[in-house]
Amino acid sequence: MLMNSFFEMNCKNELLKNYFAEDTTRTYSVSLFFDEKSTAELSNFILQVAQITKNDYVVKNNIPPHITIGMFKATKNQEGQLLQVIQKINFEFQPIFEKKENVLCFEKLDTLKNKIAFLSFATKQSLIFSLNQKLHSFLMPDFPSACNNMYLPQVFFPHCTIATGLSKTQLALLQDAQNKNLIKIPKLVQVAKISLAIRHPYQEVF
């Protein structure tokens, strides 16, 4: 029993050592974060959905409301270079983020693969697509696309995840609440910044 515990501990230590090695490839996510007011409204909505569905994964894991615009592979050694690009784009777009006419408009609460609930847009949001295209033009091919290439400009589908890992029962509870107009989605939100984070385990870099 002691031998097994010792072996497991050594394995875990080795995995952690390999993960934090400078040349280990990891996945970085680039996301849009919202201003304080929008974040509060979206967080309240996420909590409301969690209470209705009894699925608190997003709340429990403190996942902030966001829109992912890219996933990239990089090593720890490349993180500084990656960060410089993100900071440059963020600085360029900051005056645009602050303009009130550049608010984003969610249309409805939708579902994907019968297990993910997300907020989708009524029309193509030019600001998000411009950021997505600029991001990929700056980073590729030096930083390969991750997550099955689902954030590449030609297939990009912007959304804000509200709940994930929903069971059929939980999904039915959510749909019933929608049919009875028990929930009201936040319509207008304002982007405040671009964020860079290590995906697993989640660690915000910028």
Task: Output DSSP code: residue 101.
Answer: G
Question: Distance (Å, rounded) from C-alpha 137 to C-alpha 183?
Answer: 39
Q: At 180, which amino acid appears? A: K
What per-residue confidence (pLDDT) applies to 6? 46
Are 51 and 26 spatial neighbours (Cβ–Cβ below 8 Å)? no
Q: Cis before residue 95, ω within 30 degrees of 0?
A: no
Residue 161: band (very low, low, confident or very high) from pLDDT cuts 50, 70, 90: very high
Picking from 136, 22, 19, the residue whose alpha carbon sits closest to that of residue 78 is 22
Lowest mean pLDDT among 3-12, 99-108, 116-125, 158-167: 3-12
Picking from 195, 175, 168, 151, the residue whose alpha carbon sits closest to that of residue 49 is 175
Residue 21: band (very low, low, confident or very high) from pLDDT cuts 50, 70, 90: low
Backbone torsions φ then ψ of 99, nearest 5 degrees: -75, 130
Is-above-0.95 flag for pTM?
Answer: no
